[in-house]
Chains A and B, each alone.
Chain A
Amino acid sequence: MYLSQSFPDKIELDDGWLLTDDPYATVRIFPTGFEGDDLPKYYFSIEAELVDGVKDTPFLQKYLSLMNSSYHYAKITLLKSGKNLAVYSVVTIPADDLQQKEVLFALFVTGGLIENLPDRIRHAIKTKSLD
């Protein structure tokens, strides 16, 4: 319901939804594995592809690690993409009593990363610069 307002054409997947094909962005809901009363049972996660076809190098790992120190709410991760890797942003929040504003904020953060990070990541990989 919350996603339908922003993405009326979303496509249902096994464990979530495909929001857009370009950039590739999905939402998943998955169990946390926690059992305690104070702990959430489900996570809500928005994953968005930032850059595809990158080579797995020590520089890339170090660069992403540095980015993760800066982007508090979001995580920048690597996923396999054919022979190479793709850089993804992931925003994950407890989902048991999710509110619309929480979903909107997660989408807002993801949108900002899609807009700002791909060129920066490509530039860093090209120049091997950690700036």
Chain B
Amino acid sequence: MSNLERVRAHVSMNISEIYPNVVESEGLFIISIAPAFAARLIETGAVTEGLPSLYLTVISEVKNGIPNTPFLYEVIAALNLTTGPNKLIVVKDGDVANVSLTSTVPADDLQKREFVTLFAMHAANGETIPAKLFEALATNRLPG
């Protein structure tokens, strides 16, 4: 069994305990389709022994179809200063942009409590950070 297969099986078991309805498809652990909420394993690129070879990234949809303006990128940059290990990312989609929230941790030997912490932290930030984004976009003012 390769390291990827071993970590994938471990991640699958632990996510299933938190989200029993999780579906695995094409490398994604899909927790919800609408709103989009998923996790996936990504190679870290590290080859040194003792360093993790895989990341686990949790990604959730914040809002799709936001007008793709310079102000949006300014707001995202300002918010990313305050989001700890979480990160807002923007994906351009024609004239609009889709914003997601991601949380990434080294995944090679994640403990059960670390899975719980990762998803709890993502959920907690998933309430507060989008609220700040929507307020900034509605008032046209950068978050303080």
Contact = CB atoms under 8 A, between A and B. Distances in A.
Contacts, number: 80
B52 to A, nearest CB: 6
B74 A61 contact: yes
A108 B51 CA distance: 9
B121 interface: yes
A105 B106 contact: yes
Interface string B84-128: 110111110000000000101110000001001100110010000
A34 B87 contact: no
A5 to B, nearest CB: 13
Contacts of A79: 81
Interface in A75-113: 75, 77-79, 92-94, 101-102, 104-105, 108
A64 interface: yes
Is the contact region of chain B dominated by helix, strand, or loop, or is it mixed?
Answer: mixed
B55 to A, nearest CB: 5
A108 B46 contact: yes
Contacts of B74: 61
Q: Number of contact residues on B: which range applies?
A: 20 to 34
A69 interface: yes
Contacts of A102: 106
B80 interface: yes
Interface in B58-88: 70, 73-74, 76-77, 80-81, 83-85, 87-88
B16 interface: no
19 contacts: A34-B124, A38-B113, A40-B117, A43-B84, A43-B85, A45-B84, A58-B70, A61-B70, A61-B76, A68-B87, A68-B89, A69-B89, A72-B42, A72-B55, A75-B83, A93-B85, A101-B51, A104-B51, A108-B46
Given A79-B81, A94-B117, 10 more contacts: A32-B121, A38-B120, A40-B117, A58-B73, A61-B77, A65-B77, A72-B104, A73-B104, A94-B121, A104-B50
Interface of B: 42, 44, 46, 48, 50-52, 55, 57, 70, 73-74, 76-77, 80-81, 83-85, 87-91, 102, 104-106, 113, 116-117, 120-121, 124
